[in-house]
Amino acid sequence: MSSERTITCQELTEVLTDYLEGVMSREDRARFDAHLELCDGCVNYVSQMRQTIRAVHELPVAEVEATVPDDVLAAFRAWKRGDPV
């Protein structure tokens, strides 16, 4: 690694989102990866975060509504006729 500075476990938990979002500088990313090579605790932490994201992703998305409110449809028809809406 080019820099001597390493990151601590505590620091790692604060920059994890930058890491997962892929917005870290190459140098910071290398430091992060180097830390993971040596630290099972942080490997677990990162994995917990990935599992958390996965669980959140399992929550139901907003459904497609099969009905359009009458007022909205009426507004559309007025707009189409050129009436002010």
Partner 1 sequence: MTRGRGWERITLVLSEEQIIAALKRGDERAFVQLVERHQSLMLRVARRYVRSGAVAEEVVQETWLGVLNGIERFEGRASLKTWIFRILTNRALTRAEREGRMVPFSSIGDDDDDGPAVDPDRFRPAGDRWPGGWKSFPPSWDTLPEERLLARETLSFVGEAIAELPERQHLVIVLRDVEGWSAEEVCQSLEISEANQRVLLHRARSKVRRCLESYLDPEPALT
Q: Which residues bind partner 1 (CB under 8 A)?
A: 8-11, 13-14, 16-18, 21, 23, 39-45, 47-49, 51-69, 71-73, 75-77, 79-80, 85
Cβ contact 13:6 at 8 Å: no
The least distance separating partner 1 from the CB of residue 84, rounded to whole angstroms, comes to: 9
For residue 76 the two structure tokens come to 């559309």
33 vs 52 by CB, closer to partner 1: 52
27 vs 44 by CB, closer to partner 1: 44
Cβ contact 7:32 at 8 Å: yes
